Structure 1
Amino acid sequence: MASMKDIVWVGLVEHLRGQDAVVVFSGFLPVNAAIEAGVKYFMPSEWALDTAGDMGSTSEQIGPTLLTNMVLAPKRVSHNYVLARAAEGKIKFAVIYAGVILESVLRNGFLQFDFAQHTAVLPDNGVNPFAVTSFVTISKAIMSLLNDPSKFSNRFYHIADGVLTLQDVLRIFEKESGVSWGKSSYSIKEGSEAALVNLQSGVYGVQEFFGTLTAPFFGGLQVFKKLDNEVFGIEDGEVDMRQEMARFAKEQIKDA
């Protein structure tokens, strides 16, 4: 199994040297390259939301289908392309949706929890539930898939360790820090609309990217009604996300 690190890195760096920007228009190139190279299995980049809309189209009705926008639409285009190539028998694929990888969005600035100042900014007051998954569970799913890909071909899968709200997360952080935090809130709807206006005007920055994803991540739309945990050998309660958040809080308090 090869990774991006196996690409001829020096050649790529030299090719990009002196360029002001790199524009990627679609995700078709990796798919086509994989097919031409004889790669048997392809896993599109996901690990979060049901961007393909599989939840609302299945008989199980796993959950509501997300409305598309300029950030989510390219994902669906890529999914459709992979589905078409798989239908032609050119490649096999699997997509794993894991809800919110909470530790990741806490570290990358998507969520505003300040352990030094003990303040939190909660979208919609942090009351909306969302499916949440740990790195441990995601890793287990990937390893199960790669160990026997024939068992997981040409399907969309949903995994999660549980359901939380940002209010739950804040209470855990307050308990671990031993102090009450200052809280503020903003409207997810208004933030999303403002981000889309900027995107339509040609402004595409970090705030616009986060703004368009806040609704699907934390707007109460992505609580999966059916999970595929057992398919990957993931047992119920194997990872307690409240304990994971307590562990994360201890690390942040130590570094604050």
Structure 2
Amino acid sequence: MASLPFSILIFGGTGAIGKHITSAILSAKASSGHSISIFTSESTASNPDKQPLLSTWKSQGLRIITGDISDADDVTRAYEGVDVVVSCLGRNSLLAQTDLIKLAENSATVQWFFPSEYGTDIEYDASSKDEKPHQNKLKVREFIRNEIHRVQCTYLVTGPYIDMYLSLVPGVEAIGGYDVGSRKAVVVNSGDDAVGFTSMPDVGKLVVAALRNPSEAKGKALKVQSFVTTPMEIVREFEKQTGVEWTTSYTPIQEVRDLEKQLWEKSSPLAALATLRRIWAEGRTLYEQTDNKKLGLGPGDMETLSDVVGRAVGAASKL
């Protein structure tokens, strides 16, 4: 497949989802005369824990630009010669994107910007505007609508990452999850409510697919997924791959709502996760049709539930 005809700059490229997106873009390669770069802090660039990953990427042609994301001069210099900016910033840094997008608008070369939208659909229905975890992403979208006129933006809405959904988080086990070591699962309601998921490697694949299809992606909010399944289907896949029956417990959704309220009242860092799990259980990840096909991707191009569960079982066996 042809290489990407852009010079691309990535923010948050070494983060949880950023490393998957950066790896996918590097694998797709930039065409002759173009480059792929990440913008990162000096502390990240020199972090010993990041060196194996950065060294691998540099051998694939990645350029590393260091600077302060809050320094307009640093960002403006990084934008020189860049066609596309891909943001992979985490939840705590989302509002910083308004300055990044404004600087892109004022740059001489940036034409296309991907805000960090990977995750739950923040404009799924009328109730979405009131969900607390959505507020910063909604502010970024509003800023783009009101202030950005030249640069085209693409929102890649992936729904929950199945890889993270499989975790049973200590202290909030009631919101659902899976523990491979103890062969234990917790599901919300009956566990038979469908949820649309994307695997983290597939997020990278979908970003590349969007880059390959600018006419379908520019200026759009794309709803994309790896697959749809239910919490109980996940339990059965774990049982199949581990060869044993799992212990499964069930949390009524009202109990999830009550816990969510308590967590927000205590300003718990787990409150947003509880809200998101409730949203997913309520069916707000489901679409009559996704935009995968518009990006040239069919079911056979995406990871399966078996793939992701196999990866989780394999990782647990190494502990």
> TM-score, normalized by length of structure 2?
0.64
Q: Equivalents in 1 of 2:115, 2:168: separation in Å?
A: 21
For the aligned residues, what is the CA RMSD?
A: 2.9
Contact 2:160 2:196 in 1 (8 A): yes
1:139 is matched by which residue type in structure 2? G
Deviates more, 1:73-82 or 1:144-153: 144-153
| Partner residue, 1:37 | 107
| Partner residue, 1:85 | 147
Contact 1:130 1:164 in 2 (8 A): yes
| Partner residue, 2:203 | 138
| Partner residue, 1:171 | 236
Q: Deviations over 1:23-81 (max 9, x none)?
A: 7683422322332334322112122221123xx5xxxxxxx863622211222221122
Gaps of 5+ in 2: 1-7, 12-37, 44-66, 72-91, 170-174
| Partner residue, 1:184 | 249
Gaps of 5+ in 1: 16-22, 57-63
SS at match of 1:2: strand
1:75 is matched by which residue type in structure 2? K
For residues 152-171 of structure 1, the aligned pairs below 5 Å read 152-171=217-236
Match of 1:68 among 130, 134, 138: 130
| Partner residue, 1:212 | 275
Are 1:3 and 2:63 counterparts?
no
Structure 2 CA distance for partners of 1:123 and 1:252, relative to 1, 3 Å: farther
| Partner residue, 1:59 | none
Contact 1:50 1:65 in 2 (8 A): no
SS at match of 2:202: helix
Q: Deviations over 1:78-120 (max 9, x none)?
A: 112212234xx23210111122220133258485311111111
Match of 1:106 among 159, 166, 170: 166
| Partner residue, 2:121 | 50
Shift of 1:252: 3.6
Higher relative contact order (CA 8 A, sep 6+): 1
Contact 1:192 1:214 in 2 (8 A): no
> TM-score, normalized by length of structure 1?
0.78
Deviates more, 1:101-110 or 1:229-238: 101-110
2:189 is matched by which residue type in structure 1? D
Structure 2 CA distance for partners of 1:194 and 1:116, relative to 1, 3 Å: closer
SS at match of 1:34: helix
Identity %: 17
Shift of 1:156: 0.8
Deviating above 6 A after TM superposition, structure 1's stretches of 4 or more consecutive aligned residues are none
| Partner residue, 1:224 | 287
Are 1:126 and 2:197 counterparts?
no
Q: Equivalents in 2 of 1:231, 1:240: separation in Å?
A: 18
Deviates more, 1:140-149 or 1:4-13: 4-13
Q: Deviations over 1:158-198 (max 9, x none)?
A: 11232100100011001111111111222333323432354
SS at match of 2:221: strand
Aligned residue pairs total: 235
Structure 2 CA distance for partners of 1:149 and 1:84, relative to 1, 3 Å: farther
Q: Equivalents in 2 of 1:67, 1:188: separation in Å?
A: 21
Contact 1:52 1:75 in 2 (8 A): no
1:28 is matched by which residue type in structure 2? T
Q: Equivalents in 2 of 1:108, 1:184: separation in Å?
A: 12
